[in-house]
Structure 1
């Protein structure tokens, strides 16, 4: 007996989301490994901080969109508040860099 179409779509969506979580997790592990390798091997001494900050920001974005589901259409309010919080945080960080 064949399963209903709705149940088949549900199973397919679960597999796609599991694969998406796994792929995102692997990318985050890769970003962390690259950061540790750059620091441990002292590669790119002049660019180490910008590269690590770039990898960290990519990792944060991946976590927000993968695990906090900010890519869903009905989470627009949460996305706007998270984005504005990131802008305020970046402004504060830049101000602190110029203050010192």
Structure 2
């Protein structure tokens, strides 16, 4: 797979991880008081599920950071040449492919 395809795949992975993280937090996070003007949220007893939410959100955040780092590594791996150099490589590659196809 070429680097551009890998970058596209990594962007999809980051989007999926972000949406899953936000959705999980929205669904499972305990209520929190946002402002002194609002009443206290209903009390909840800390349970194993609450602890799992904290651990799960840390794990999901770590996965999101790892995916972003992989994306950065792929960007660094992109060739630094300009557009003209890339077009020349494409033309040369097409000539090579045409030569190979002609011999088959």
Pairwise TM-score range, normalised by the shorter structure: 0.3 to 0.5
* Structure with larger Rg: 2
In the superposition, the TM-score normalised over structure 2's length comes to 0.43
Q: Which has the higher contact order (CA 8 A, sep 6+)?
A: 2
Structure number with higher helix proportion: 1
In the superposition, the TM-score normalised over structure 1's length comes to 0.45
